[in-house]
Amino acid sequence: MITTENYFWIVTILALVYTVVIRIIQMKLINQDKTKELQKRMNDLNKDYLSAMKSNNKSRMDSIQKEQNELMPKFNKLMMGQLKVMGVVIVVFLAFMYPVNTLDPFMVDDQTFDLVSLSSAQGEWCGSFAVQCSSSGPWLVDVTAYSGTSEKGTNSTYIYCSRETGILPSPVMKGTLFPITTDKKVYTQNENATVCITAPEGTDRAVGKTDSGTWFMVPLPFTIPVLNANAINGANIWFIVVSIIFGLIFSFVWGKVQKKKPKGEAK
């Protein structure tokens, strides 16, 4: 089994490799120089057109519009090329997310449980699971209501093992929100926790999932303003943050290297 420390480095290294792969793909599939040149020319023409409008220079306006029309097919082709690259980037991102999610050692102690309908008229569904105190918590318990194979909505709540302590993980809320409750907040080893919801209309199945007090978290040496967060929760979020930061560093360094090259060598 992968240790939590090794998993941290695996996610970080995958994020770095992903960033390099994406930059290589972008450089191979997009001619950066031509792209910048065309975008600059289009911007200059727009400014010139506005200037011609202010001076009511109709012949200049017609001339600019003619050049814009000539450049538009090239610009549209450029945009289509960038959309194709974006599609490739998404596929590569999903490919890297697969090992990030499947290797997660924090999911080993998670469990799922089914809820049963107690009152179809009132939409009350309840289910239970045994609390295993492998961690003192807090635990995140989320329930998803289904209609056939379609998700109606998901909501979550927290419980604790032994005592109320720890940083709360991010709640899961999507779709049609509904009330979710537990019979109490603090449980002991092997004690059954009962979870109940008032399901949305049309629900024919409800499934609960527990995140048993353990999840990927990277403490920060500072607090993020506005969000008031001093830790990054979730391997996916950490992957994205590392990718963005390393991507900015990579672009900065690459730009410096290109500027130092003779003009004939820069690509």
This model's pTM is above 0.85:
no
User: CATH for 110-213?
Assistant: 2.60.40
pLDDT in tens, the chain (267 residues): 678 789 999 999 999 999 999 988 888 877 767 777 888 888 888 888 888 888 888 888 888 888 888 888 887 887 787 888 889 999 999 999 999 988 888 776 678 999 999 987 788 999 999 887 766 568 889 999 999 999 999 999 999 887 776 667 677 888 999 999 999 999 888 899 999 999 999 999 999 998 876 678 888 887 777 767 777 878 899 999 999 999 999 888 877 777 776 655 544
- Overall size of the chain counted in residues: 267
What is the domain partition of the chain in residue ranges?
A: 4-104+237-260, 110-213
Beta-strand (E) ranges in 120-266?
124-130, 139-147, 150-161, 174-175, 180-182, 186-187, 192-198, 205-211, 217-224, 229-233
The single-letter DSSP state of residue 172 is: -
Pairing of β 186-187 and β 111-119: unpaired
Closest CA to 218 of 195, 245, 194, 200: 245
